[in-house]
Amino acid sequence: MINDFRGEFYHNIDNKGRLSIPRKFAARLIEEDEGRVVVTRGVDRCLWIYPHSKFEETTSKMQQLSLFDPDAQLFLNTFYGTSHDDTLDKTGRILVPKHLLVDYAEIYKEIVIVGAMYLIQVWSLENWRRQIEKSTTNPNEIASKMASHFSNMHSQMKGTNP
């Protein structure tokens, strides 16, 4: 299972909407999932590229959501309903549909590809800069919030309550 996508890569989208996956990511996707990926909406107007097997694992957990819950239905419609399956071509590219690339992620040319553990994020250069700005506005506050999450996770792993 792929859990080690990391790094930041700057690229351009070509005129046909094809996205070049960084070589080290493409090699892992080919090795573990035969190059099959699922592209869907992420948060803050970025795209998430999942290895196919990880997407299947994630969506199997979503089956617990109630179709009668309006929030769950909205989430499923936007996350699952707008997703797109593809397979890397021989040069490590995928074709991203306009509804994801332009209409949602506001990507026209310059992109930033970010490894995020078990998925790959794709940002427009402008949106990535805004995202980084958010993280540098008050890094001590963010670190403090994250420390409590890690503390809770550590307690749960030991079988104790936080």
Does some domain include residue 150?
no
Least confident of 5-9, 28-32, 87-91, 149-153: 149-153
Q: Does the pLDDT at position 113 exceed 50?
A: yes
Task: Give the dihedral of Cα atoms 162, 118, 102, 130; nearest 10 deg.
Answer: 50
Least confident of 15-29, 40-54, 96-110, 144-158: 144-158
Confidence at residue 162, expressed as pLDDT on a 0 to 100 scale:
47
Confidence at residue 6, expressed as pLDDT on a 0 to 100 scale:
95
Does some domain include residue 103?
yes
Buried b or exposed e, range 80-94, using 16+ CB within 10 angstroms: eeebbebebeeebbb
Q: Does the pLDDT at position 142 exceed 60?
A: yes
Strands, E, within 28-118: which ranges? 36-41, 47-51, 84-87, 93-95, 110-117
**pTM, two decimal places:** 0.84
Please give the residue range of the domain that contains residue 82.
5-126
CATH code for the domain of 116? 3.40.1550.20
Measured in degrees and rounded to the nearest 5, phi and psi for residue 138 equal: -145, 75
Does some domain include residue 107?
yes
Q: Does the pLDDT at position 149 exceed 90?
A: no
User: Cβ distance 105 to 45 under 8 Å?
Assistant: yes
For the chain, how many structural domains are there in total?
Answer: 1
Does some domain include residue 77?
yes
Provide the mean pLDDT of the chain. Answer: 89
Confidence at residue 148, expressed as pLDDT on a 0 to 100 scale:
72
Instruction: List, for residues 13-49, the tens digit of each pLDDT value.
Output: 999 999 999 999 999 999 999 999 999 999 999 999 9
